[in-house]
Structure 1
Amino acid sequence: MVSLLYVCVRPELGAADAEHASFRRALGADVVDRLDLLSQRLDTVDLSRYRGVVVGGSPFNVSDAHKSAEQQRVEADLETLARLAIDRRIAVFFTCFSIGVVTRMLGGEVTTTTPEPASATVIETTEAGSADPVFGPSAPALTVFTAHKESAAALPDGAVLLATNAACPVQAYRVGTHLYTAQFHPEPTPRDFADRMTFYRTTGYFDPEEFDLVQGQVLAASVTEGAALLRRFAETFAG
């Protein structure tokens, strides 16, 4: 029986298909069901079928001044998913864009002052992160892929900081026992991330004139612990 659900919030179909495959590989599962929130509402899915949910990234930003009706609907559904996780009705691992949605829902501020370009970066686990069942085995530090224009300005009320670095102090946090958030992308291999860059070549995550240089740096990076986080999340909640 399938017990994992991938929630897609990417408008670009090719990038979404590749991200789904990345999550499936990282989770170590042959079958991970998919819900595209841009074409299907959250309330059309029977979430009781699943014990774990992973939310992918998106070019959307919570801080966008003007939002389409589609983006507003996606954000509302992600907030609903976050509330279900806080109530321990389902375990959810939010990544990238969706950490901003959760932060805002918790009353926190989302800022554009601590962006990170498309690159591999080192993050450090906190004391709480080192004791966490998902992040703990990766302590004291791990290398992950980042690419974001906004982030949490500070840890929101009720959250436990799990990982940090100097460039972006709020890299990951947990709320209760069933809600995990990560500013970074835990699922892609270097090849996955390099291929994803082609979809976002002119969207501000890196200088398009330095595409070959940045892609080469990504391909040369040693990044494995992100997938390990997801597998431990799956083993903890959907094993």
Structure 2
Amino acid sequence: MDKSVADRAAAVADIEDGMTIMVGGFGGSGAPIELIHALIDRFRATGSPGKLTIINNNAGNGRIGIAAMIDAGMVAKMICSFPRSADPRAFTEKYLVGDIGLELVPQGTLAERIRAGGAGIPAFYTPTSYGTELAKGKPVAEFDGRMYVQERWLRADVAIIKAELADRQGNLTYRKAARNFSPLMAAAASLTIVQATRIVEPGTIDPEQVITPGLFVNRIVEIADAQQEEALMRAEVAY
């Protein structure tokens, strides 16, 4: 099955208002900037999709990527570990006036909640956050003399991720640290959309090098000249 699509607009065309979207990336590493900006273009043209819940490691930087989505008024809630990162002004401005919600999740817990979503595990226990405000209202239990907090899985309607190589059947490799959250998110979403630096024919990628099997991928678009978040920030680009 050929999962490639012609362009970035077609890749994100059926994302709807109110959806929960997992966005790959650890800072700029692995951030699918072009797919995010395609969503912003559609919002500006049609007013949709809005009222989104975004799951990412942070809440965006500068005036590009997720931060640009927040600036545009597309995001109702962030689920993340670092709402304040290199340049968090977009999120900070909206949060201080009550225009965006926040669910703060420790980074390791965030990764495990996403992994649990992909593995079909609805809840698990972790000692992280016990005795803090982040554990307020959550079930707790004692195991072997230590207190643990119950955390629920995270699943999403859509995952938007960035890969290095993809074959037309959806098998993916990643470039170094760009691997980060993306394999977990691909497994935890109902629809996984990928921007890949290069799309190759099936059989081209050594099976031993495949990180995300095509089973978890629905749609791929080739973006050969993908932009890097940090470079855009240094150039003071505002999308």
**TM-score w.r.t. structure 2 length?**
0.31
Which fold has the larger relative contact order, with Cα–Cα distance below 8 Å and residues 6 or more apart in sequence? 2
| Structure (1 or 2) with the greater helix fraction | 1
Larger radius of gyration: 2
**TM-score w.r.t. structure 1 length?**
0.31
